[in-house]
Structure 1
Amino acid sequence: MKLTHMLVFVALFGGGACQYTYGYFNWLSRIMGYSRSYSNRYFETELEPPLPTDCPAECTCPRIFPKAMYCDTRRFKYIPKVPARMKYVYLQNNQIDGVPEGVFDNATHLVWVVLHGNKISNEKIGTDVFSKLTNLERVYLDHNNLSTIPFPLPKSLRELRVAGNMISKVPPNALEGLDNLTMLLLNDNQLEDIGGSLKVLKSLSFLDLSNNHLKKLPDALPNSLHQLYLDFNHISVIPNEYFKQFPKLQYARMSNNELTDNGIPLNTFNVSSLIELDLSHNKLQKIPPVNENLENLYLHANKIKEFTVDSFCKTMGWMSFSKIQVIRLDGNSIRQDNIPPEMHQCLRRARIINI
């Protein structure tokens, strides 16, 4: 047997293996956050401080993430005491029904609070339980039993997830002062009308209102929007020049609504910032005109009968053509023999054309 092979064999299976197995895999134990105490000096080191003992016994606080506490998926009905050093608390997928006042008072530097997949109701959320956390950036409360957005929330908040609840309205003052909020997920609720309650969110970039009961578009939204999702609602009309108020908007999804040709003014989607537009699963009979900068257009599962080139190109030439890369028109009534030959000149950048 070669010397190198023998050394490996002895290290793994030698007579002293039982005594030193933990030492050999000590690196793995440190990564996983586990700790064992031994009186033998073999395991002592001055470079690695002892693991703090303030972590709740029912949770896990890995050594490599000393400011994170994992208490998820453990059938908890309560929130355990959070050590003062923590910044990230994971409590998702439990049976917690409330967030009582003072539960986070010991950990005022929390940055993330993850509580999705529980049974939390508004009646059991302390009045100032979140507003006291002045460094809080993300709150995940999706898939609980909320009937409205918790209030008040700290001004430091950047991301709020309350999808999959029973929220039917957003009071005008519910989001006041959240000037740093960039992402809001309100999808899968029972909203019928948003009104202008979201206008106060000056930095909002991502808004998901999909799968609600909206019959009209929100009256006013922040002009900072970059992504807007309104699919799976009951919207039939888009106000004239509605999307012109969002100079940064790049992604708009309105699939699975009740849009008709009469409900879409002529230049509704002639917005130079738009990159992706989804109007699939509606009741359109014509291709609405879009801006030449648009790259992805989804119109499948409508009632469109004709391919109109001027919906993409007002004029055609060497320097005048559409930037469309992907267009889906399948599930309509367009016949292949009715496709005009100039389509390929107009859509010369297209990689995928499904008809």
Structure 2
Amino acid sequence: MFLLLPTGSSRVSIMRWAAVLIVAGLCGVSLGQYDEDEDLAWLQYYMRQSRLSSYNYMPYYEDENTPYVYSYLPAPDAEAGPGPEPQESPSRECPQECDCPPNFSAAMYCDTRNLRYLPFVPSRMKYVYFQNNQITSVQEGAFDNATELEWLALHNNQITSEKMGKRVFAKLKNLERLYMNNNNLTKMPGPLPRSLRELHLSYNQISKVPSNALEGLENLTALYLSHNQIFEMGASLKGLKSLILADLSYNHLRKVPDGLPIALEQLYLEYNHINAIPDDYFRVSPKLLYVRMSHNSLTNQGLSTNTFNSSSILELDLSYNRLQKIPRVSTNLENLYLQGNQINEFSISSFCTVVDVMNYSRLQVLRLDGNEIKRNAVPPDAPLCLRRATIIEI
């Protein structure tokens, strides 16, 4: 018996019909047992059931920017209610100069594209990246539409202070990280949002940090101001209650900032022109761990007896200064760098006030190379005091 399927039948229908024939053969059923009308009725019923049980997932391509848009058709007996108002696809809300990944809809990447201006920032954005361009200005209101911004990367551009809006960051109440390093700024930007946690302003041309420049930033934990031309800091750090790291290296400071934050752990002041430190200067920061003041103009006359005798400091770098004696340090200090000074004597009292079995220094690394001290100047009780030391260079 030969069955002629309709000319419009799909390959799937043919395969299903073949399966039916095989099953019928296995069950010993002959289609010849039924008359022609019953055959046709049964076949039509089977084809209808097959169509009802199949799903159509054919994607509809609207354009290249909207890769998959599936259409939905309501059931014939369903009453179609008012649908949502047409909304612009997230992909359409991205400036053509930038990329907005569908799987990270709150981020906009506009970096390294030779841009000379700031594109429009959609309101849904939280992370925007404009680094490595040739942007020269940040106009007033540039981010007024995107008030939910948390990260703003503007580093490695040519932005000047004269071409920055005075209140360009005022509405960014959730901003946590601001990157403006490697630009042409001559002044501190501001006012800055109180939500800020990290401020990156290294490699600019800032010459002064007014006392109110960082006012209200009680959440700030990291401040990067290295490689500028700063000659005065005033008391700008004093109110930063959460500040953990302050990098002020490679500037023109002649004195240390007035008043350190209580939470400070890392202070970098290397490559400045500092020649003195007030007495008990570091004691106001009981959590201070790392102090780097190499390549300054420190002398023993500019230091008090207990300037560095702070129990919290673990690493102290005073290399390449003008010291003639080893300053007194805490027995808890672990790393002391004094190379490149003018030290001419080894004073064990700088490390241990009492030398015995129970009292000794925790110092592990001591560098005295590049000084005027002689190897035979090391006192005989030095090994007892410095019993933890693994590296001593003279």
For the criterion TM > 0.5, the same-fold answer is yes
Q: Contact conserved, 2:66 with 2:91, CA < 8 A, in 1?
A: no
Instruction: Map 1:151-300 onto structure 2 (within 5 A).
Output: 151-300=190-339
- 1:327 equivalent in structure 2: 366
Q: Which secondary structure state, in structure 2, belongs to the residue aligned with residue 52 of structure 1?
A: helix
Q: Percent identity?
A: 58
Amino acid at match of 1:113: L
The CA distance in 1 between the partners of 2:249 and 2:201, in whole Å, is 12
Deviation at 1:37, TM superposition (A): 4.1
Task: Give the structure, 1 or 2, with the largest relative contact order (CA under 8 Å, sep 6 or more).
Answer: 1
The CA distance in 1 between the partners of 2:376 and 2:210, in whole Å, is 53
Give CA-to-partner distance per residue, 1:148-193, whole Å, 9 cap, x none: 1111111111111111111111223222211111111111111112
Counterparts in 2 of 1:38 and 1:227: CA distance versus 1, 3 Å: closer
- 1:9 equivalent in structure 2: none
- 1:72 equivalent in structure 2: 111
- 1:118 equivalent in structure 2: 157
Q: Contact conserved, 2:106 with 2:127, CA < 8 A, in 1?
A: yes
The CA distance in 2 between the partners of 1:288 and 1:256, in whole Å, is 16
Q: 2:171 aligns with which of 129, 132, 151?
A: 132
Structure 1 residues 279-288 or 309-318, which shifts more?
A: 309-318
Deviation at 1:36, TM superposition (A): 8.4
Amino acid at match of 2:261: P
Amino acid at match of 1:168: S
Q: 1:313 aligns with which of 352, 362, 367?
A: 352
Deviation at 1:282, TM superposition (A): 0.5
- 1:43 equivalent in structure 2: none
Q: 1:143 aligns with which of 157, 177, 182?
A: 182
Aligned-residue RMSD, C-alpha: 2.1
Q: Contact conserved, 2:211 with 2:233, CA < 8 A, in 1?
A: no
The CA distance in 1 between the partners of 2:67 and 2:297, in whole Å, is 65
Q: Contact conserved, 2:115 with 2:133, CA < 8 A, in 1?
A: yes
- Which segments of structure 1 move beyond 6 Å, counting only runs of 4 or more? none
Counterparts in 2 of 1:35 and 1:277: CA distance versus 1, 3 Å: farther
Q: Which secondary structure state, in structure 2, belongs to the residue aligned with residue 108 of structure 1?
A: coil
- 1:301 equivalent in structure 2: 340
Amino acid at match of 1:350: A
The CA distance in 1 between the partners of 2:189 and 2:90, in whole Å, is 36
Deviation at 1:56, TM superposition (A): 2.1
1:101 aligns with 2:140: yes
Q: Contact conserved, 2:65 with 2:92, CA < 8 A, in 1?
A: no
Structure 2: gaps of 5 or more residues: 1-63, 70-88
Q: Which secondary structure state, in structure 2, belongs to the residue aligned with residue 252 of structure 1?
A: strand
- 2:382 equivalent in structure 1: 343
The CA distance in 2 between the partners of 1:65 and 1:330, in whole Å, is 53
TM-score by length of 2: 0.75
Q: Contact conserved, 1:35 with 1:51, CA < 8 A, in 2?
A: no
Give CA-to-partner distance per residue, 1:302-343, whole Å, 9 cap, x none: 111222221111112232111111111111122222222322
Give CA-to-partner distance per residue, 1:192-223, whole Å, 9 cap, x none: 12111222222222111111111111222322
Amino acid at match of 1:127: K
> Which structure: larger Rg?
2
TM-score by length of 1: 0.83
The CA distance in 2 between the partners of 1:150 and 1:120, in whole Å, is 11
The CA distance in 2 between the partners of 1:337 and 1:35, in whole Å, is 77
The CA distance in 1 between the partners of 2:256 and 2:366, in whole Å, is 25
Amino acid at match of 1:324: L
